[in-house]
Each structure stands twice: as structure tokens, then as C-alpha cells.
Amino acid sequence: MKSDMGFKYLVFSRIFRSIGIIYITLVAPLYLKFIGFSLVSIGIIFLFIILFNTILVFALGLLGDRVGYKKTLIIGDLFPFLAAFLLFSSSLKIVIIISLLIGGIGGTAGGMRGVFSPGLTALVASNWKNDLERVRRLGILTSAAAFSSIGGSSMLSIKSFLPFSPELKFRFLFLISAILLALSILSLSAVNEVARPKKNSKIMKLSSLKYSGKVMLSNSLSGMGVGLAVPLLPLWFEELVEKVRKIWNK
């Protein structure tokens, strides 16, 4: 229904995105270790991933004010889709690093990684002016992505049951993630957006720069901390299990 602005497709997009991207986020450090990277190297790689993701999010946020938030949501999903496809199709280490970098793997924890991407809250605010309606729809999007993140975690759990070699198990599920992210992009294409006058003003007025800078600094520090910790948790647990197993076998 036109009046609903294709909201159900926006929900579908967050569901597909959450499942696909949560799997890649959780499995990325394990895959890097599997192909021979040291723990220190993995930490450094994730640091650059988060820095790149921060720049990308900021750039897409500015772009959304000028070309529309729906378009930036689609662009934002194209990056992890391309990353997932490259991770499936190539076993070269340099390609794997570049894929994780452009995919922005990391970022916000849990289901929030699936729901919040540049332009989403702005799109909801633009399409639904009523405060209660806007909050309700954001709540639906957040809940859908959070519950769907269980699917991404489950993909990591079923990896060991797949009838492939260890490397192909990783790469097969990267393909599944790429398909899910492609479905997210297709769902976004069915979402409508309220037409707004194009923004031609400065990126940020000096009067608001001081306040915005404080908020951005706070969110950046907390986001980098969580974004670095959460993707590395599976690797930490794997290391812990290996040490316990070695002690037990002695």
C-alpha cells in the first residue's frame, strides 16, 4: 500500500541484512585465524576496518541529505554484499582483507548492526512525521533486526555440520550471506521515500559544529570500543576452548 511507504519491505531488508552481516561479523576473525593470520595481525586488521567504516558512515550520512536516504541505504548494503561475494569467490589473503575492509565488518553490536545503517533513522523520520508512529516503526525495525541476528549466529553454529572441507564451509556461508544481502538490496528498492527539496547548504554550520562534535566524539569512542570487542569475542572463546582442551588432555 502506497500510504505505508513500503514499510514491510524495509523490515524485510533489516531481517535479511541482520542475518547476513552478523554471520560475517562473528566469523571474520575465526576465518582470518584459519587462513594463517596471527592474533596481533587480526587486531590490527579490525582497527583499520573500523576506521574505514567510520569514514564510510559519515560520508553516506552527508550524501543522504543530498540524494535521498533510500539511495544511501542501498549503497550502504552494496558494500557488505560485495565483501561477502568476494569472500566466497576468492581465497587470496589480500582480497580477503580488502573485502572485510570495504564491508565495514564490525561496527555496532548484536542486532543493532543489522538495523542501523546510514540514512535509516532519517528515512523513517522523513516518511512518518507523527512522533508515536515514528517511534513504533523504529521499534519494529530494531526488534526485527535483533531477533534476526540469532539467524546469523546460528549460521556460525551449523558450519561444523556442513559436508564440505573446512575452508569451503566458511566460503559457502559467505555465499549465503551475499544472497541475503542481495535480498536486502532488492527489498530496499521497493521502499518509497517522501520527496524532499534537495539540500544545497553547507555540510555543517559553525554554530552547530561544537555541539555535534561532542556527540560525534562520544559515539565514535563507544562505537569503536564495542565494534572492536564484539567481532573478536568468537576468536577469544575459541582460544579459551583450545587452552582448556590442552590442559584437560595433559
Q: Could you read off the pLDDT of 83-135 as tens digits, one per residue?
A: 999 999 999 999 999 999 888 665 444 444 445 566 788 888 888 888 888 88
Question: Which tens digits make up the pLDDT trace of 186-218?
Answer: 999 999 888 766 665 555 555 555 555 555 555
The reported pLDDT for the residue numbered 112 is 43
The reported pLDDT for the residue numbered 181 is 94
The reported pLDDT for the residue numbered 238 is 66
The answer to whether residues 49 and 232 touch, using CB atoms and an 8 Å cutoff, is no
Domains, the chain, ordered by start: 2-193+204-249 (1.20.1250.20)
- Out of 69-78, 119-128, 236-245, give the one with best mean pLDDT: 69-78
Euclidean distance between CA atoms 155 and 164, whole angstroms = 15
What is the pTM (predicted TM-score) of this model? Answer: 0.81
